[in-house]
Structure 1
Amino acid sequence: MAGLESFNMGNQRHRPSRSISEHPPQLETNMLDTEMMRQQREKFIKMTRDKDVLVNGTVNKCLKPTCLILQHVVSYPLIVLRRQCQLHYASTYYHIVPFTLIPVVCRLVKSQGVSVLWKGFGTVLLLKGMTMAVEAFLSEIFDLPKDADSLNNLKSFGKHVLLKCASLGIITPFYSACLVETVQSNIVSENTAFYDVFKEGFIRLLQWNCPQKGRMLPVWIIVTPTVTHGVLKYLTNILVSKSVKHILVMYELHKLRKTGAIPKDYDSTSLDNERIEAVSDLITCAVSDIILFPLETIMHRLYLQGTRTIIDNLDTGISVMSITTAYTGPIDCFVTTVTEEGRLGLFKGFGALLLQTVLVGMLYKVMRISLEKVVEAYASSSNSPPQTLVNIQNNQTNTPEQSGIELPDFRPIMRSTSFMM
């Protein structure tokens, strides 16, 4: 052909052909690295979930004892102040809000010491144990269900409430004697032995119909508000607890669905764990105390009538006053209180309850966060995450964009328990 005489066919015959990929070894290396990264990522996810389970399980087991300590130990000084405010029928300051109570407490502690806020603490614990013992004894003797978890019908629930009423009626005189040791002033009162509350309680229990001395009311009169308060508080606790648990479970499920961290086979009943139980107990206790506060005021005033108890004057914090009421019963106490002190007279010391609720809630959250930090630090130190992922990324010569390979997402794994109460 013309013009092709100088074309060398031999050179074209031995010219190497172009391939689709000029660096097949690099591609194989990237694929191998990606497979190793996928395996390490699955291992890292499993380790993260195991650590979360360990942290959540350990913290949840510690929350129940923490709530008991907050409710019965940390809250006790504020309970003492609340009861003294309820008994002060001639007070000028009602202490409906905490701000008026704080300066009075400072003067009270300055004049009598910190022990003034812990009066009768040992007696209260003994009385709680005695209440449980009486309830267990009556349950065995009369075959009444003691545990609420074993109730399966309305009849058994009625027997359970009857057991509560009987135990409250028997313990009422001891409640009255315990209240005296809780609110009496340290300035004018003598130190009492721990068995005095049982002695005074038995004496008053034996004199069921006749008052012991002076204006003291018979036991059968003060049993009515005691049993009414105890049963209403128990029923309120049941209703509020179930409602709070349901709301918290729905809140948790909503958060999990929103974050997309809920598994397909997830059971909503598994959310009803110790953490929700602890939060429910705190909220239930606060709500029942707020609802039954007026009835509690009437009950405590009837307890102390005729006992010639002298309490600290929480108008000033540096003086004392004696209890000299003359109520004939719960209805007369209610009418007299509203007439002479107004409707807010039934809520004297309500600021102490508000302060107690806020303090317990804050301390609970602080202690929960502290427990999580401690347990998580321990779990991290004993089970460190794998470093292979970082080493593989550092040893790669090409970036993911250069190699054309999409790397997996390494965003942090969210915990299943997102509730922050």
Structure 2
Amino acid sequence: MQPRRPEGFDGLGYRGAAYGADYQLGFPARSLSSSGDLSQHWVTTPPDIPGSRNLHWGDKTPVYGGDGSLPPAGLGEESSGGREQLNRFAGFGIGLASLFTENVLAHPCIVLRRQCQVNYHARNYQLSPFSIVNIMYNFTKTQGPRALWKGMGSTFIVQGITLGTEGIISECTPLPREVTHKFNPKHIAGHLLLKGLVYAIATPFYSASLIETVQSEIIHDNPGILDCLKEGIGRIVGLGVPHSKRLLPILVITFPTVLHGVLHYIISSVVQKCVLFIIKKKAPPRDSTDRPNIVQNTLDDYFPELIANFAASLCADVMLYPLETVLHRLHIQGTRTIIDNTDLGHEVVPINTQYEGMRDCMNSINREEGILGFYKGFGAVVVQYTLHMAVLQITKIIYTSLSRNTS
């Protein structure tokens, strides 16, 4: 029977027909016929067993455990691998909690927020988070919980289109996808131009996603997965679901969409950098003499970025909320969309606005609904970011407890 040894097991260096490996190691070549010597010095234990070694002439297997000496390096490698796995698990858990909060848990707030923004009939502006919670309860009671998560699939499609378009344009053009730390006006201008082109291409698909988000479930069947793509392409070529004559051309709504997207990106990026700078400046330096704690170090690395992203998104949404209200009303006009009555939580109301453009929409809202008309549904923003902060704090508490247990 042939001995079963790994392919990478070299023994004394007798691998192949030549014995050059022995001379490279400083050992004289020996004949394979000296079986007595080989039986004494050739360790045939496979190296995947903890504590085993590929010994050469004069080497001895290290002994540990009885005299207080250190264990073999193999066990240290296993513990190092365990720390790496724990580090990956900690980072994955923190990122997953943030991703779940931003895209799943916050979606009902986005649905209510958009419905209130486009409902110019509404007498209750839903500025308080308590009124928003009451409306959510009424919607769930009359239409079921699914009504609060409508259009979530289309939002992921729009995000995918945005990321894919940005990658394709950055690869085919000299426009940079990321901004370096050095301040270069030409570099920043090219980066913002790339963002503007991406938002312009995603405009028709954003309109289709907005319609799926705000339309009532009472009189509309569940949309298909690819309906957002079909509606977006139909909006470009002028085909698909029939629209009224009040429908604004795609070029008219492209400018406010690009303006809102670029401003939101600039504000969020600036706030994120400022918050990260403040957090890192106030953070105490790590003491290299202390025992390393993988979970705590991961929490210190990832959590400031989550806090910075949270603050950046909150500031951008609050500052650009009036522009977002105008943008959504321009997108929804002429699409024959029927939304839920946000005053009662049941019944439906049609959308039959007649805005001529961005300036006319702003003047009409200010004249007919007042300044607070730009902030309809603002209570949903308060609920959304309250939930987001609660999830971040719970995640921090969990990982702080794990760090104490592992320390």
CA–CA distance in structure 2, aligned partners of residues 242 and 152 of structure 1: 14
With over 3 angstroms needed to count, the CA separation of the structure-2 counterparts of 1:149 and 1:60, relative to structure 1, is farther
Residue 381 of structure 2 aligns with an amino acid whose one-letter code is: L
| Matching residue within 100, 108, 114 for 1:69 | 100
Q: Give the superposition deviation at 1:64.
A: 2.8
Q: Give the superposition deviation at 1:359.
A: 1.3
> Per the alignment, in what secondary structure is the counterpart of residue 287 of structure 1?
helix
With over 3 angstroms needed to count, the CA separation of the structure-2 counterparts of 1:81 and 1:55, relative to structure 1, is same
| Matching residue within 301, 308, 312 for 1:284 | 312
CA–CA distance in structure 1, aligned partners of residues 276 and 84 of structure 2: 21
CA–CA distance in structure 2, aligned partners of residues 146 and 56 of structure 1: 29
Cα deviation code 1:52-85 (max 9, x no counterpart): 9998886455323322221111111111110011
Matched, 1:133 2:164: yes
| Matching residue within 310, 324, 349 for 1:321 | 349
| Matching residue within 135, 139, 148 for 1:117 | 148
Number of corresponding residues:
316
Matched, 1:148 2:179: yes
Q: Give the superposition deviation at 1:364.
A: 1.1
> Per the alignment, in what secondary structure is the counterpart of residue 321 of structure 1?
strand
With over 3 angstroms needed to count, the CA separation of the structure-2 counterparts of 1:351 and 1:129, relative to structure 1, is same
> Per the alignment, in what secondary structure is the counterpart of residue 188 of structure 1?
coil
Q: Give the superposition deviation at 1:358.
A: 1.1
Q: Give the superposition deviation at 1:207.
A: 4.3
Q: Give the superposition deviation at 1:132.
A: 0.8
| Matching residue within 335, 349, 352 for 2:380 | 352
> Per the alignment, in what secondary structure is the counterpart of residue 273 of structure 1?
helix
Percent identical pairs in the alignment equals: 37
Cα deviation code 1:227-255 (max 9, x no counterpart): 000000110011101111122123324xx
Residue 203 of structure 2 aligns with an amino acid whose one-letter code is: T
What is the 5 A alignment of 1:155-174? 155-174=186-205
> Per the alignment, in what secondary structure is the counterpart of residue 246 of structure 1?
helix
Match of 1:175 in 2: 206
Cα deviation code 1:325-366 (max 9, x no counterpart): 000001100000010000000000000001111111012101
Match of 1:98 in 2: 129
CA–CA distance in structure 2, aligned partners of residues 291 and 78 of structure 1: 18
> Per the alignment, in what secondary structure is the counterpart of residue 338 of structure 1?
helix
Cα deviation code 1:361-412 (max 9, x no counterpart): 01210122123324543x25xxxxxxxxxxxxxxxxxxxxxxxxxxxxxxxx
- Structure 2 residue ranges without an equivalent (≥5): 1-81, 290-297
Q: Give the superposition deviation at 1:152.
A: 5.9
- Structure 1 residue ranges without an equivalent (≥5): 1-50, 265-269, 381-421
With over 3 angstroms needed to count, the CA separation of the structure-2 counterparts of 1:162 and 1:75, relative to structure 1, is same
> Per the alignment, in what secondary structure is the counterpart of residue 311 of structure 1?
strand
8 Å Cα contact 2:299/2:396 also seen in 1: no
Matched, 1:372 2:400: yes
CA–CA distance in structure 1, aligned partners of residues 253 and 260 of structure 2: 11
Match of 1:16 in 2: none
Query: Over the residues paired in the alignment, what is the CA RMSD in angstroms?
Result: 2.7
8 Å Cα contact 2:243/2:335 also seen in 1: no
Match of 2:225 in 1: 194
Cα deviation code 1:31-61 (max 9, x no counterpart): xxxxxxxxxxxxxxxxxxxx99998886455
Matched, 1:236 2:236: no
CA–CA distance in structure 2, aligned partners of residues 272 and 238 of structure 1: 21
With over 3 angstroms needed to count, the CA separation of the structure-2 counterparts of 1:310 and 1:372, relative to structure 1, is same
CA–CA distance in structure 1, aligned partners of residues 372 and 328 of structure 2: 16
TM-score of the superposed pair, with normalisation by structure 2: 0.72
Residue 241 of structure 1 aligns with an amino acid whose one-letter code is: Q
CA–CA distance in structure 2, aligned partners of residues 227 and 220 of structure 1: 11
8 Å Cα contact 1:104/1:316 also seen in 2: yes
With over 3 angstroms needed to count, the CA separation of the structure-2 counterparts of 1:217 and 1:371, relative to structure 1, is same
8 Å Cα contact 1:55/1:375 also seen in 2: no
8 Å Cα contact 2:243/2:336 also seen in 1: no
CA–CA distance in structure 1, aligned partners of residues 305 and 394 of structure 2: 17
> Per the alignment, in what secondary structure is the counterpart of residue 194 of structure 1?
coil
Residue 93 of structure 2 aligns with an amino acid whose one-letter code is: C
Higher Cα Rg: structure 1 or 2?
A: 1
> Per the alignment, in what secondary structure is the counterpart of residue 255 of structure 2?
helix
Residue 191 of structure 1 aligns with an amino acid whose one-letter code is: N
Match of 1:275 in 2: 303
Residue 97 of structure 1 aligns with an amino acid whose one-letter code is: S
Structure with bigger RCO (C-alpha 8 Å, 6+ apart): 1
CA–CA distance in structure 2, aligned partners of residues 140 and 263 of structure 1: 42
Match of 2:63 in 1: none
Q: Give the superposition deviation at 1:150.
A: 7.7
Q: Give the superposition deviation at 1:170.
A: 1.1
8 Å Cα contact 1:59/1:368 also seen in 2: no
Name whichever structure is richer in helix by fraction: 1
8 Å Cα contact 1:249/1:272 also seen in 2: no
Cα deviation code 1:264-288 (max 9, x no counterpart): 9xxxxx9983221111011111111
> Per the alignment, in what secondary structure is the counterpart of residue 348 of structure 2?
strand
Cα deviation code 1:156-183 (max 9, x no counterpart): 2111111111111111011001100011
What is the 5 A alignment of 1:383-402? none
> Per the alignment, in what secondary structure is the counterpart of residue 283 of structure 2?
helix
